[in-house]
Amino acid sequence: MQQRNKVKDVGFERSLRLTEIFFSLQGETKTVGLPTVFIRLTGCPLRCQYCDTAYAFQGGKWYDIQDILAEVRKYDANYVTVTGGEPLAQKACISLLKSLCDEGYNVSLETSGALDISQVDERVMKVVDIKTPDSLEADKNNWQNISYLLPHDQIKFVICSESDYEWSKQIIQQKQLTSCCEILFSPSYQQIRAGDLADWILRDKLPVRLQIQLHKYLWGDVQGR
């Protein structure tokens, strides 16, 4: 890809600041295990205590959307995930998501849930992370986003402790989240045991899907995997 200056096209932002594009197995969500192209955008307004992509907070290079699409085509993959950082912190993310869908890819968006998702193309599978108290960013949750969720979307809770688990149970009930879309519970890496979280879910017969970060079990905490 060639580095471009920040440009505009018919009034819309057409370039984004990227940390990396890489090809790997999807480690989470309903497409776990599938070969996927990851587009990691730079920048994030949150500072979750367990964040494993702090290297994407700054730096990166500007690329035009067409150059990004050309790079994605090289991998001959069906699935594309736009992640961060926080992808929606860049206005042109909305245009990138639409362009990827128009190209025929199965597209997912990993977002913190702090920013408005109402303009995201309906073809995109939105994976919205609801921040728990132990993330230290629970006050950033944008609860209005729940009304924009579609059946093919997913809500994710990263659970750091048993108190996080109990809080998440209450939120599911209070916000009636099971009527929106599938709910994922993920143990915070190296903070709680996946087996303990599984036991709590079974004990309470909670209608959620337990997920682990497959890529970390395969390759450890390695950037670009």
Identify the domain containing residue 130 by its residue range. Answer: 8-219
CA distance 44 to 59: 12
Where helices occur in 120-193 by DSSP H, the ranges are 162-174
Residues 89-127 as b/e (b if ≥16 CB within 10 A, e otherwise) read bbebbbbbbbbbbeeebbbbbbbbbbbebeebbeebbbb
Residue 1 forms part of a structural domain: no
Looking at the domain assignment, is residue 118 inside a domain? yes
The total number of structural domains in the chain stands at 1
**What pLDDT, on a 0 to 100 scale, did the predictor assign at position 220?**
76
DSSP 34-93: SEEEEEEE---S---TT-S-GGGSS--EEEEHHHHHHHHHTT--SEEEEESS-GGGSTTH
In tens digits, the chain (225 residues) has pLDDT values of 333 333 333 334 789 999 999 999 999 999 999 999 999 999 999 999 999 899 999 999 999 999 999 999 999 999 999 999 999 999 999 999 999 999 999 999 999 999 999 999 999 999 999 999 999 999 999 999 999 999 999 999 999 999 999 999 999 999 999 999 999 999 998 899 999 999 999 999 999 999 998 877 787 766 656
In a domain, 2, yes or no: no
Residue 16 in any domain: the answer is yes
Task: Give residue 2's pLDDT.
Answer: 38
In this prediction, residue 190 carries a pLDDT of 85
Q: Are 7 and 62 in contact (CB under 8 A)?
A: no
Is residue 225 domain-resident? Answer: no
Residue 223: the pLDDT is: 63
What pLDDT is attached to residue 6? 36
Please check whether residue 182 lies inside any domain of the structure: yes
Tokens 């921040």 sit on residue? 131
Domain containing residue 140: CATH number: 3.20.20.70
